[in-house]
Amino acid sequence: MNIDLNAAHEEFRRYLKKEKHRITPERFEVLDYALEFEGHFGADELFLKMKNNNSNVSRATVYNTLELLAACDLLAKRNFGENKTRYEAKYGRKSHDHLICTNCGSIKEFSEPAIEKIVKEISEKLGFEPTGHSFNIFGKCTNSNCKMRQNEQNNS
């Protein structure tokens, strides 16, 4: 875990240098908190978590740094239709897409190689240079808590 963290720092440092951004302690603090987060998180959520841990990093810096981390592929930028940007640690992880339960909000991941192939084919056909994609499946999951909520709603 610590090895990963150092390697991630190193990668971020390289990116910042290459793009002529300054190397500041705040940026690495954001990176640490982001990688520590399990699952998806919003920018404000991360900012508040840092604030609660007595970090002095400002909201503006958190928002700005998350953009940089997404740009250099240490984080993935997501949007699950809630009108807020979500991030997810990507460093060293396999790329994947998501199933989102519209009833209980739970999110499952899946990998399907055929999707990359489709991205390539469609882009080529339409004269487009793809840089990424987002594929979300919406529906109802079979989680028992979820079913409970469905029944509650039906009864109300």
Partner DNA sequence: TTCAGTGCAAAAACTTTGCAGGAGG
Partner DNA sequence: CCTCCTGCAAAGTTTTTGCACTGAA
> Interface residues with DNA (CB under 7 A)?
21-27, 42-44, 56-61, 63-65, 83-85
C-alpha 88, offset from chain centre:
2
Q: Which of its own copies, DNA, none does residue 112 bind to, with CB < 5 to 8 Å depending on kind?
A: its own copies
Is residue 111 helix, strand or coil? coil
Query: Residue 29 in contact with residue 8, Cβ under 8 Å?
Result: no
Nearer to DNA, 25 or 113 (CB): 25
Instruction: Report which residue type is found at 23.
Output: I
Q: Which of DNA, its own copies, none does residue 81 bind to, with CB < 5 to 8 Å depending on kind?
A: its own copies
Nearer to DNA, 85 or 123 (CB): 85
What phi, psi does 95 have (nearest 5°)?
Answer: -70, 145
Of residues 59-88, those binding its own copies (CB under 8 A): 77, 79, 81, 83-85
Query: Residue 45 in contact with residue 30, Cβ under 8 Å?
Result: no
In angstroms, give the least distance from the CB of 111 to DNA. 25
